[in-house]
Amino acid sequence: MILQKIQKCLNQIKFGISTDFRFKIRPFFRKKLLIFCLVPQILGASPANTRPMWGFWAHQRINRLAIFTLPPELLVFFKKHADYLTDNAVNPDKRRYAVVGEAPRHYIDLENYGDSAAYKLPLYWNEAVQKYGQDTLAMHGVVPWAIQQYKSMLTEAFRQKNARRILRLSADLGHYIADANVPLHTTRNYNGQLTNQQGIHAFWESRLPELFAQDYDGFVGAATYEPKVARRAWQAIQQANAALDSVLRFERELSERMPPNQKYVLEDRNGVIMKTYSREFAQRYHQMLAQQVERQFRTSAKMVGDFWFTCWVDAGQPDLGALANFALTDTDKNEEDTEKRSWLKRLFNVRSEGEN
């Protein structure tokens, strides 16, 4: 029962109001479960020491859009499983508090490595480990290397023609690629907490797409082969980080021109009153950014399609015709459900129904 409630609660955490409790979460959760579920939503921002994530909606749209960049050989299989790839686009965020090593895969705090870090850090994981050690890397985030790792794993899954793994890894890879394209995923000032702009993370990646994505151009072109996977992963980080200055500066400039009573409104969301950025503030900010959110959104979808396609090519272009009829069996579904419940269980450290 409690797990169902938690799941329901997590499902309601949309539009970037969810939070990253990193490693200090459990004692807090045991005592303040309901408060956790409600307070961030009421505040419309994340508690201190937490790290918000791309809105669920945007992750799902990006994976779905990427499917339609694929050539027919892949499209048949991916389109058939469009719902799986969409629904599971947010798995990495759901498990990030519960699975060791998951949280750092979503970001990289470039400032910790000095000036021009996005251009100077080692392209490849092994070199980075030699230079900085795994602990340091994990502390500051590893998203550009996680993309490479998942690219290799997905290639292998294609080679093995393992439909279930292809789907799971495609969904995960799509998630990490999308994260790498978010400016605020490349900085330790990830929620404006160091510049008195708390809440900007969810505002940029959730509230803005929520309000304006219906006008975004969904046609991103056909997937193309990417011969330099590592370089492309780093390019995404470089571009996202280059956009960071505008993300923060325009919000600050606009806040100076609009008093708080114009900047924020209270909104009723599923019966929960939330303080959130007003539509007028969002509109003006979105305009100042000059299609930046749309650009990053489209760049993400194109890159996801390119990487899925590249994995398939590197695997020798296996014929997926034999997998066309693949469907998750009841056992697969049960295993996936059990796995998801186990993330939640570890996250909240609560007893299962059977143990009560």
For the bound state, the minimum distance from the C-beta of residue 332 to Zn ion, rounded and expressed in Å, comes to 24
DSSP bridge pairs for 267: 274
> DSSP per residue over 289-311, as a string?
TTTHHHHHHHHHHHHHHHHHHHH
For the bound state, the minimum distance from the C-beta of residue 13 to Zn ion, rounded and expressed in Å, comes to 13
Q: Using CB under 5 A, which of 20, 179, 226, 306 touches Zn ion?
A: 179
90 touches 57 (CB < 8 A):
no
Q: DSSP code of 46?
A: P
Contact range with Zn ion by CB under 5 A, out of 11-19, 29-37, 177-185, 204-212: 177-185
Cβ-based nearer residue to Zn ion, 163 or 183: 183
Give the x-and-dash track for 13-52 against Zn ion (CB under 5 A): ----------------------------------------
Judged by CB under 5 A, does residue 93 bind Zn ion?
yes
Judged by CB under 5 A, does residue 205 bind Zn ion?
no
For the bound state, the minimum distance from the C-beta of residue 126 to Zn ion, rounded and expressed in Å, comes to 24
Cβ-based nearer residue to Zn ion, 250 or 297: 297
Residue with smallest beta-carbon separation from Zn ion: 106
For the bound state, the minimum distance from the C-beta of residue 8 to Zn ion, rounded and expressed in Å, comes to 21
Alpha-carbon distance of 144 to 235, in angstroms, equals 9
Q: Using CB under 5 A, which of 6, 25, 45, 53 touches Zn ion?
A: 53
Cβ-based nearer residue to Zn ion, 109 or 314: 109
Is the sign of the CA dihedral 134, 139, 145, 151 positive or negative? Answer: positive
Cβ-based nearer residue to Zn ion, 179 or 294: 179
Cβ-based nearer residue to Zn ion, 64 or 106: 106
Q: Tell me if residue 275 falls in helix, strand or coil.
A: strand
Judged by CB under 5 A, does residue 251 bind Zn ion?
no
Q: Using CB under 5 A, which of 51, 64, 106, 302 touches Zn ion?
A: 106
Cβ-based nearer residue to Zn ion, 93 or 109: 93
Contact range with Zn ion by CB under 5 A, out of 100-108, 136-144, 255-263, 294-302: 100-108
Q: Give the rounded distance of the alpha carbon of 247 from its chain centre.
A: 18
Instruction: Locate all alpha helices (DSSP H) within 215-353, ordered by sequence.
Output: 229-242, 244-257, 260-263, 279-288, 292-314, 330-348
Candidates 12, 94, 125; CA nearest to 337 is 94
Helical axes 330-348 vs 2-12, angle rounded to 10°? 90
For the bound state, the minimum distance from the C-beta of residue 200 to Zn ion, rounded and expressed in Å, comes to 17
Alpha-carbon distance of 64 to 270, in angstroms, equals 26
For the bound state, the minimum distance from the C-beta of residue 238 to Zn ion, rounded and expressed in Å, comes to 19
Alpha-carbon distance of 223 to 232, in angstroms, equals 14
**What radius of gyration do the chain's Cα atoms show?**
20
Alpha-carbon distance of 237 to 44, in angstroms, equals 27
Beta strand ranges found along the chain (DSSP E): 264-269, 272-277
For the bound state, the minimum distance from the C-beta of residue 176 to Zn ion, rounded and expressed in Å, comes to 7
Judged by CB under 5 A, does residue 146 bind Zn ion?
no
Instruction: Give the total of residues touching Zn ion (CB under 5 A).
Output: 4
- Other Cβ atoms less than 10 A from the Cβ of 127: the count is 12
For the bound state, the minimum distance from the C-beta of residue 53 to Zn ion, rounded and expressed in Å, comes to 4
Judged by CB under 5 A, does residue 306 bind Zn ion?
no
Tell me which residues touch Zn ion (CB under 5 A): 53, 93, 106, 179
